[in-house]
């Protein structure tokens, strides 16, 4: 987006809506709407254009940075979604929490209070855990209600953990010509996936296998 292949840092998507920076151009807006088949909410989070890093959600709602402005939260709530701030100092919730409609995997350093907020807002069970030895679970994996694509170093045991927690199949892969942080480089929901233009044919095939489709690429 704007030449930046890390779409998952700027965009956050669920089966209900997508969050995008206020300066998203009309061409990109149309592409996101057509690919993900959801309305796009153009809003900063905590005054930042990095919605994908500062918010995580599912069909029930979003958990956002503790520094999110009330006006930003109100804009998301207008779509009938729950929105809560995370109470911890770890505010890049999109980087440290992986979620879909069935479960969530969170950074082990999150407090029990934060885990409760995530669980109640998204209405899912939340498990603390790491993926491929990384605590940034939202950066190293992307989850939809169809599947999970995760870091190529994810172990078989971790894949089983992901499948049990998220209640969908999980597999490994890369994006953008070998980038392992697939959560940072991908934005997806059950209707579609957006990846960077450097993503290769074999990578696209693996994404399609893991998540069930590949609607569009940038």
Q: How many residues does the chain have?
A: 218
Count Cα neighbours of 218 within 13 Å in the Cβ-side half-sphere.
26
**How far is 142 from 136, CA to CA, in rounded Å?**
11
**Cβ atoms of residues 189 and 128 within 8 Å:** no
CA 145 from centre of chain: 12
Would you kindly state where each structural domain of the chain is located, as residue ranges?
A: 7-211
Residues 110-166 have pLDDT tens digits of 999 999 999 999 999 999 999 999 999 999 999 999 999 999 999 999 999 999 999
**Cβ atoms of residues 174 and 149 within 8 Å:** no
Nearest one of 204, 153, 147, 146 to 175, comparing CA atoms: 204
**How far is 48 from 44, CA to CA, in rounded Å?**
5
Domain 7-211 class in CATH: alpha beta
**How far is 56 from 110, CA to CA, in rounded Å?**
14
**How far is 97 from 53, CA to CA, in rounded Å?**
10
One pLDDT digit (tens) per residue for the chain, 218 residues: 555 778 999 999 999 999 999 999 999 999 999 999 999 999 999 999 999 999 999 999 999 999 999 999 999 999 999 999 999 999 999 999 999 999 999 999 999 999 999 999 999 999 999 999 999 999 999 999 999 999 999 999 999 999 999 999 999 999 999 999 999 999 999 999 999 889 999 998 899 889 976 444 44
């Amino acid at each position: 987006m704007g030449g930046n292949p890390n779409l998952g840092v700027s965009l956050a998507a669920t089966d209900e809506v997508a969050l995008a920076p206020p300066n998203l151009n009309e061409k990109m807006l149309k592409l996101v709407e057509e690919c993900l088949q959801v309305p796009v909410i153009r809003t900063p989070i905590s005054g930042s254009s990095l919605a994908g890093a500062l918010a995580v959600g599912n069909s029930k709602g979003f958990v956002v940075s503790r520094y999110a402005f009330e006006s930003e939260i109100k804009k998301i709530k207008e779509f009938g979604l729950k929105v809560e701030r995370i109470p911890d100092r770890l505010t890049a919730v999109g980087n440290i929490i992986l979620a879909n409609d069935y479960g969530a995997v969170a950074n082990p350093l999150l407090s029990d209070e934060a885990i409760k907020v995530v669980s109640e807002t998204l209405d899912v069970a939340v498990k603390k855990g790491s993926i491929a030895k990384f605590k940034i679970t939202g950066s190293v994996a992307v989850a939809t209600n169809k599947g999970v694509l995760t870091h190529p170093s994810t172990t078989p045991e971790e894949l089983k953990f992901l499948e049990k927690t998220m209640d969908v199949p999980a597999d490994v892969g890369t994006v953008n010509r070998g980038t392992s942080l697939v959560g940072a480089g991908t934005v997806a929901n059950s209707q579609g996936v957006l990846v960077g233009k450097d993503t290769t044919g074999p990578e696209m095939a693996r994404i399609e296998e893991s998540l069930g489709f590949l609607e569009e690429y940038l």
